[in-house]
């Protein structure tokens, strides 16, 4: 009898674990059938579900997960819906980056996690602020990496090391091992078909000239796609003069009012065809204290407040396609 009861308890525990995994997997599958360009009731509800998942995981638990051995991390991913989504998004991006054939005149952009962006054109592939427990697995498939600043949620030490081991450029303002691609001043680079311009901004009143913003013009075969990644800048127009002007995609943060300061005409301002909001439910951040974990709800509310004709909120693993001069 005791043996039967024990087996029943073990079975119930297994079913419970599978149910959690299936719930998160189902949420991600349903989200993948929606579009960031259509914030309808279904998508809002799914984002609210994902927000609920994130609130069940503290920043301490996430930091422990990042430090855990692979087997322990895998178990945590099965037990926590938001960690399941975190892992699922990475594998989706890794698979699509490897296997997507980009047609001439087209560019594909993925949001990986936080402000991590991967861009693939017919000529090549690069990343900006790529951060993930598994990030180094991307090294064979990206040609260069840009890192806006020296904070843990915007860089992957492992990916940077893997890129260097492969002889691939890592652009930053703090990694001296980057050689000619390390600069604390505004700079210009040419890597294959990609032309890169940078400017330097303050992060806040204490971390001055801490952020490098990257403007990447991807060439004719990309459909003349261009990207401006702001990192954790403070959105002061005077610090954007070297990256100003029209741009295909502008990567903002979570849509705080000050982000509008760089939008429009004039010195230090940009005119994006599309802007995306990011840096939400960064799991390293505390839920209720600074640095506070910004919520999906907060970003959704801010979509209409950004002075840009097209503003979207992609979630981890989702992709956008640039074609005929617009993102879709």
**Average pLDDT rounded to a whole number, residues 67-76:** 97
What three-state secondary structure class fits 111? Answer: strand
Mean pLDDT score, 251-276 = 97
pLDDT of residue 168: 98
pLDDT score of 100 more than 60? yes
DSSP string for 199-220: EEE-SSSSSTT-EEEEEEE--G
Give the β-pairing of 188-191 and 194-201.
antiparallel
Mean pLDDT to the nearest integer, 186-210: 96
Q: How would residue 288 be classed by pLDDT, with cut points 50, 70 and 90?
A: confident
- Round the average pLDDT of the chain to a whole number and report it: 94
More confident residue, 251 or 7: 251
What pLDDT is stored for residue 16 in this prediction? 45
Smallest CA-to-CA distance from 198 within 219, 163, 171, 223 is with 171
- At residue 6 the predicted structure's pLDDT band, cuts being 50, 70 and 90, is very low
Expressed as residue numbers, the domain containing 150 is 2-327
Instruction: Give the Cα separation of 180 and 171 in Å (integer).
Output: 9
pLDDT band with cut points at 50, 70 and 90 for residue 3: very low
CATH number at residue 50: 3.60.15.10
pLDDT confidence of residue 14: 43
DSSP-based three-state secondary structure for 135: helix
Residue 133 has pLDDT above 50, yes or no: yes
**Structure letter (DSSP) for residue 123:** S
Q: In the structure, what pLDDT confidence band is assigned to residue 290 with cuts at 50, 70 and 90?
A: confident
pLDDT, residue 58, reads: 96
Residue 264 reports pLDDT greater than 70: yes
**Distance between first and last Cα of the chain:** 60
Q: What is the mean pLDDT of residues 258-279?
A: 98
Q: What is the pLDDT of residue 15?
A: 41
| Residues in Cβ contact with 270 at an 8 Å cutoff, skipping those fewer than 6 apart | 228, 240, 243, 244, 245, 246, 247, 250, 262, 263
- Contacts with 9 (C-beta within 8 Å, 6 or more apart), sequence order: none
Averaged pLDDT for residues 66-82: 97
* Residue 325 burial (C-beta neighbours within 10 Å; 0-12, 13-18, 19+): exposed
Number of domains making up the chain: 1
Q: How many other C-beta atoms are found inside a 10 Å radius of the C-beta of residue 168?
A: 18
pTM for the whole structure: 0.92
- CA-CA distance, 269 to 282, in Å (whole number)? 27
Question: What average pLDDT does range 59-74 have in this prediction?
Answer: 97
Q: How confident is the model at residue 289 (pLDDT cuts 50, 70, 90)?
A: confident
């Amino acid at each position: 009898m005791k043996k039967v009861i024990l087996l029943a308890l073990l079975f119930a525990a297994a079913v419970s674990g599978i149910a959690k995994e299936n719930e998160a997997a189902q949420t991600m599958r349903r989200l993948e059938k929606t579009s960031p360009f259509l914030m309808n009731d279904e998508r809002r509800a799914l984002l609210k579900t994902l927000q609920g998942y994130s609130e069940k995981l503290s920043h301490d638990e996430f930091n422990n997960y990042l430090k855990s051995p692979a087997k322990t991390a895998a178990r945590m991913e099965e037990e926590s819906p938001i960690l399941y989504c975190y892992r699922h998004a990475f594998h989706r991006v890794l698979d699509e980056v490897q296997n997507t054939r980009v047609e001439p005149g087209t560019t594909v952009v993925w949001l990986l996690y936080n402000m991590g962006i991967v861009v693939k054109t017919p000529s090549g592939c690069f990343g900006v602020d790529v951060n993930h427990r598994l990030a180094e697995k991307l090294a064979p498939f990206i040609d260069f990496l840009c890192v806006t600043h020296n904070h843990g949620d915007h860089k992957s030490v492992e990916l940077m090391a893997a890129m260097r081991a492969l002889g691939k450029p890592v652009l930053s303002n703090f990694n001296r091992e980057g050689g000619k691609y390390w600069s604390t001043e505004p700079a210009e680079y040419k890597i294959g078909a990609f032309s890169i311009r940078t400017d330097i901004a303050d992060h806040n009143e204490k971390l001055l000239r801490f952020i490098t913003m990257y403007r990447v013009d991807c060439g004719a075969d990309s459909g003349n796609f261009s990207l401006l990644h702001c990192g954790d800048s403070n959105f002061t127009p005077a610090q954007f003069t070297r990256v100003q002007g029209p741009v295909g995609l502008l990567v903002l943060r979570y849509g705080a009012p000050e982000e509008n300061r760089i939008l429009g005409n004039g010195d230090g301002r940009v005119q994006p065809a599309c802007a995306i909001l990011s840096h939400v439910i960064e799991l390293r951040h505390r839920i209720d204290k600074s640095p506070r974990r910004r919520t999906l709800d907060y970003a959704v509310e801010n979509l209409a407040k950004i002075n840009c004709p097209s503003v979207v909120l992609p979630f981890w693993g989702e992709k956008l396609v640039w074609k005929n001069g617009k993102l879709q």
